[in-house]
């Protein structure tokens, strides 16, 4: 093999191109590597996207086509990664959609000392892995290891397992253990910690103003727990962390100092992935692919153009700006990751830990049964009950008996995404009582959306809510609020307010909206406890 061809193969190994269905926020049309690119730079891994504003749309056909073309050229099968933080149903419509991480944490908090610690989260990870493998995904880009200490964080919020490292670390680890039990790999993200930011790195370079000691005491504890548990990859985010990088304005993705801490102090020896390199946090910076590789990253996720990125790396090596050995080492790390994921995928169930079974025991205790997730009906029942029991009741007593008719009012605010709007419409169809019931539920929505830049409920929306509640009270209606948002975003004074009945449902996603419907109709008992500090 020629020297040039060997370099091209190594460049192909470190670049992780996207395979994306049309209709996502990022692209109206499908995206996949070109036939010519696959021949010249066969990838070791790709990242698949099937999540659209209207719900999941499977990327399986595009992924299969890429793999078939690689096979035609005699190249090895690439692994596929996917962001499955809420189960494989987030990107594959035939798979199971799960509650967000903070809702899982609420169910764990409600379990107290009963059951197996982390059992609900571990089971969620196991189901995610099983369905990921069934849909051709070997690497789940989860769990989120961020500690959401900033209540107004626009991009983490309910994606985190908690607002303290003591809450977040053991649950992130439990989710990873579930992934491994189910036969998939996991990725700790977003190093060095995205929980204490006011900005969304999809839109801009997000600042983390923590001291070095604070980073070690808070942000890095979940990463340490995941590294100790054998996490397969760590994803580095585009964060401005001056105390770590020593250079204000330098993204951690491009910082050799940040990567040296991950390798040295935190002890991670596996493949390091970048967050998507086409995010706006890196806008205006040049040669980001070569700089990320030189800093110590191994897998360059979502390059800003596959051919462009490949040529940039070739040129950097030939010009001496990027050591050839660094490219070779990164390529070896990525090939090692592929081999590890393939071995995990191929291992028979008997060689993996037994999966936790969900059954009707005291307060949802768990027992072991490897066949619990054998049918779609069992998976759906697991997810539905988990979502329902993760609900948290707060404030005053619920003003009407579950199962009694009620009217679901128009949500506040009204500008939610299509997926959320359809879920609320479904709730209204399921529980509305046209005969003039005096019971009214007011849904309040807040979504974590890439590129949105904000999270939570605006002060003007709180004023609208208060006015609606006052008007209904004057008319003699019994009212309650379904808070489809993080409890961290509750207005000051609302938690524990005795004149305000609240059900905390964490996110306006189909599982959580369905959970509220089940509660209203008396089919499920909320067993969650507050998984964060009260406001």
Q: Is the pLDDT of residue 367 over 80?
A: no
Instruction: Based on the fold, state whether residues 343 and 443 are members of the same structural domain.
Output: no
Helix locations, 193-233, DSSP H:
212-214, 220-228
**Residue 361 located in a structural domain:** no
Question: Considering only CA atoms, which of 207, 198, 153, 86 is closest in space to residue 455?
Answer: 153
For range 513-522, the mean pLDDT = 95
Band of pLDDT at residue 246, cut at 50, 70 and 90: very high
**Residue 528 located in a structural domain:** no
pLDDT in tens, 445-485: 988 877 677 788 889 999 999 999 999 999 999 999 999 99
**Residue 366 located in a structural domain:** no
User: What does the buried/exposed string (b/e) look like for 85-119 if buried means 16 or more CB atoms within 10 Å of the residue's CB?
Assistant: bbbbbbbbeebbbbbbbbbbbbbbbbbeeebeebb
pLDDT in tens, 266-316: 999 999 999 999 999 899 999 999 999 999 999 999 999 999 999 999 999
Instruction: Based on the fold, state whether residues 213 and 276 are members of the same structural domain.
Output: yes
191: domain CATH number is 3.20.20.300
Tell which wins on pLDDT, 433 or 347: 347
Instruction: Based on the fold, state whether residues 196 and 334 are members of the same structural domain.
Output: yes
**Tally of structural domains, the chain:** 2
- Distance separating alpha carbons of residues 443 and 437, to the nearest angstrom: 17
Instruction: Based on the fold, state whether residues 325 and 439 are members of the same structural domain.
Output: no
Which of 351, 373, 407 corresponds to the end of one domain?
351
- Distance separating alpha carbons of residues 112 and 528, to the nearest angstrom: 10
Q: Is the pLDDT of residue 365 over 80?
A: no
**Residue 500 located in a structural domain:** yes
Which of 351, 378, 409 corresponds to the end of one domain?
351
Instruction: Based on the fold, state whether residues 88 and 183 are members of the same structural domain.
Output: yes
Q: Is the pLDDT of residue 357 over 70?
A: no
Instruction: Based on the fold, state whether residues 57 and 172 are members of the same structural domain.
Output: yes
**Residue 531 located in a structural domain:** no
57-71, 148-162, 249-263, 402-416 — which is least confidently predicted? 402-416
- Give 507's Cβ-side CA count (13 Å radius): 26
**Residue 436 located in a structural domain:** yes
- pLDDT for the residue 114: 57
Answer for the pair 188, 145: CB distance below 8 angstroms, yes or no: yes
Instruction: Based on the fold, state whether residues 67 and 116 are members of the same structural domain.
Output: yes
Band of pLDDT at residue 363, cut at 50, 70 and 90: very low
- pLDDT for the residue 86: 97
Which of 327, 351, 375 corresponds to the end of one domain?
351
Residues of the domain holding 464: 391-520
- pLDDT for the residue 358: 38
Instruction: Based on the fold, state whether residues 276 and 398 are members of the same structural domain.
Output: no
For range 204-222, the mean pLDDT = 97
Instruction: Based on the fold, state whether residues 206 and 275 are members of the same structural domain.
Output: yes
- pLDDT for the residue 371: 47
Residues 526, 532, 534, 535: is their CA dihedral positive or negative?
negative
Instruction: Based on the fold, state whether residues 324 and 456 are members of the same structural domain.
Output: no
- pLDDT for the residue 368: 36
Q: For the chain, what percent of residues have pLDDT higher than 70?
A: 93
For range 61-84, the mean pLDDT = 98
Band of pLDDT at residue 396, cut at 50, 70 and 90: confident
Residues annotated catalytic, as ranges: 202, 275
- Distance separating alpha carbons of residues 185 and 141, to the nearest angstrom: 8
**Residue 438 located in a structural domain:** yes
Band of pLDDT at residue 535, cut at 50, 70 and 90: low
**Residue 12 located in a structural domain:** yes
Q: What is the mean pLDDT of the chain?
A: 91
Radius of gyration from C-alpha coordinates of the chain: 23
- pLDDT for the residue 351: 40
């Amino acid at each position: 093999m020629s020297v040039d061809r060997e370099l091209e193969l190594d460049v192909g190994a470190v670049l992780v191109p996207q395979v994306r269905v049309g209709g996502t926020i990022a692209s109206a049309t499908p995206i996949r590597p070109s036939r010519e690119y696959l021949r010249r730079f066969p990838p070791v891994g790709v990242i698949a996207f099937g999540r659209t504003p209207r719900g999941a749309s499977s990327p399986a056909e595009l992924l299969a086509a890429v793999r078939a073309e690689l096979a035609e050229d005699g190249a090895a099968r690439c692994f596929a990664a996917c962001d499955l933080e809420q189960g494989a149903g987030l990107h594959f419509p035939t798979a199971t959609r799960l509650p967000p991480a903070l809702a899982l944490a609420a169910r764990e908090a409600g379990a107290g000392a009963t059951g197996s610690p982390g059992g609900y989260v571990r089971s969620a990870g196991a189901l995610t892995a099983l369905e990921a493998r069934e849909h051709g995904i070997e690497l789940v880009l989860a769990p989120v290891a961020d500690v959401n200490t900033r209540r107004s964080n626009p991009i983490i919020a309910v994606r985190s397992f908690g607002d303290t490292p003591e809450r977040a670390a053991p649950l992130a680890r439990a989710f990873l253990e579930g992934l491994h039990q189910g036969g998939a790999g996991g990725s700790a993200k977003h190093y060095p910690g995205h929980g204490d930011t006011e900005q969304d790195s999809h839109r801009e370079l997000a600042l983390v103003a923590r001291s070095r000691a604070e980073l070690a005491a808070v942000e890095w504890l979940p990463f340490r727990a995941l590294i100790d548990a054998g996490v397969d990859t760590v994803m580095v985010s585009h964060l401005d962390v001056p105390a770590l990088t020593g250079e204000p304005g330098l993204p951690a993705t491009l910082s050799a100092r940040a990567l040296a801490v991950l390798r040295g102090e935190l002890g991670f020896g596996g493949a390091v992935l970048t967050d998507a390199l086409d995010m706006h946090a890196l806008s205006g910076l040049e040669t980001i692919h070569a700089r990320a590789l030189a800093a110590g990253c191994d897998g360059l996720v979502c390059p800003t153009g596959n051919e462009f990125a490949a040529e940039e790396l070739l040129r950097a090596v030939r010009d001496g700006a990027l050591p050839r050995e660094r490219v070779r080492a990164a390529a070896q790390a990525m090939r090692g990751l592929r081999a590890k994921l393939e071995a995990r995928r191929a291992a028979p169930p008997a060689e993996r830990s037994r999966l936790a079974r969900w059954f009707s025991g005291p307060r949802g205790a768990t027992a072991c049964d490897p066949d619990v997730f054998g049918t779609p009906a069992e998976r759906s029942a697991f997810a539905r009950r988990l979502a329902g029991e993760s609900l948290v009741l707060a404030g005053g007593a619920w003003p009407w008996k579950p199962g009694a008719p009620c009217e679901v009012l128009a949500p506040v605010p009204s500008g939610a995404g299509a997926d959320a709007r359809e879920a609320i419409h479904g709730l209204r169809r399921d529980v509305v009582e046209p005969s003039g019931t005096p019971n009214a539920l007011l849904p309040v929505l807040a979504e974590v959306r890439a590129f949105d830049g904000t999270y939570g409920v605006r002060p003007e929306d709180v004023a609208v809510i208060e006015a609606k509640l006052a008007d209904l009270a004057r008319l003699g209606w019994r009212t309650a609020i379904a808070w489809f948002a993080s409890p961290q975003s509750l207005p000051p004074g609302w938690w524990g307010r005795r004149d305000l009945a609240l059900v905390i449902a964490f996110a306006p996603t189909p599982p959580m909206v369905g959970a509220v419907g089940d509660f209203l109709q008396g089919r499920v008992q909320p067993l969650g406890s507050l998984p964060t500090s009260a406001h």
